[in-house]
Amino acid sequence: MPYRFIDHPADIGIHIVSKDRRGLFEEAAYAIIDILGAKCPDKDLQNQNITVEGLDLADTMVRWLQELLYHIEVKDLRVFSIKIDRIQETGLNAWVTGNHSSTGLEKEIKAVTYHNLEILEVDNHFETTIIFDT
């Protein structure tokens, strides 16, 4: 598992390590999908394009996860796979493959926070810690 849970009082925290930015953002998305219980099986799949713009890389991460959270919680998106096509300091474009289903979620996330959020490049890999307000 490329991400791991960290102890945080009252909220959920994850720490992600990846060889590149694209992987970091994809793994963050898979983590939120796992936490919510928003996976779907490989049937009746549709592709949906999601584009977000941010002020910097950390802001782009928060906006990406908030947008994904919105599609999952409000539009009942259940996700099979994610592929990020373009990622820059100030935005990304991704294809989310899944379907829409009214099946309930396992957990609620109120928000993706900026609390101590940094995206670091360390020894030829990227890492970050993200806190979700639950």
48 and 29 Cβ atoms separated by less than 8 Å? no
Stated pTM of the model: 0.91
Burial (CB count <10 Å: 0-12, 13-18, 19+), residue 98: buried
The pLDDT tens digits for 82-116 are 999 999 999 999 999 999 998 899 999 999 999 98
Which CATH number characterizes residue 72's domain? Answer: 3.55.10.10
Number of folded domains that form the chain = 1
Domain, as residue range, for 62: 3-133
